[in-house]
Amino acid sequence: MEREINDSALSRYKKRMFVLVVVLALVSQLDFWEFIRHHPTGALAYLLAALPALPFIGIMATYGLYVAELRDELVRTVAKTSLLWSIVATLSVTTLWGFLEMLANAPHLQPLLVLPIFGIFLGIATALVNRRYE
């Protein structure tokens, strides 16, 4: 029973994630191949370069849907609180790093790394917030 409460949301989340990861792999492969072979420029280059970002945006939307579909209010509270803490941590670290880059010549942080950094903070925050309610 306890597992059933949130399992339907988790099951839908896993299915959506699987589809998005497959789409991401296909789009990235086709996109890189197009850039290597045809060297697109101008607006087309911008359009093609933006394509792999769409599945990533979908992955974030999927996580939001998962949180919204959670039936157990404690688990939903843990998820929402963890999201807030991880957003704060990611913004703090990237802002700090921005100043280090600008003033102290620290190595450039690729914006593409922000999502994995957020994912790491989300994992840590979820574990810590969960402990509060144990």
Partner 1 sequence: MKNRLRVLRAEREWSQADLAERLEVSRQSVNAIETGKFDPSLPLAFKLARLFETTIEGIFTDESQG
Supply the DSSP symbol for 105.
Answer: -
69: CB partners within 8 A, 6+ apart: 8, 9, 12, 13
Residue of 17, 65, 77, 117 interacting with partner 1 (CB under 8 A): 77
Residue of 36, 73, 102, 105 interacting with partner 1 (CB under 8 A): 73
Kindly state the tokens that stand for 124: 């840590």
Site for partner 1, residues 9 to 68, rule: CB under 8 A: none
| 72 near partner 1 (CB under 8 A) | yes
* Stretch of 22-30, 49-57, 93-101, 126-134 lying at the interface with partner 1 (CB under 8 A): 126-134
* Stretch of 27-35, 69-77, 81-89, 114-122 lying at the interface with partner 1 (CB under 8 A): 69-77
Of 82, 86, 90, 22, which is closest to residue 58 (Cα–Cα)? 22
CB of 67 to partner 1, least distance (A): 15
67: CB partners within 8 A, 6+ apart: 76, 79, 80, 83
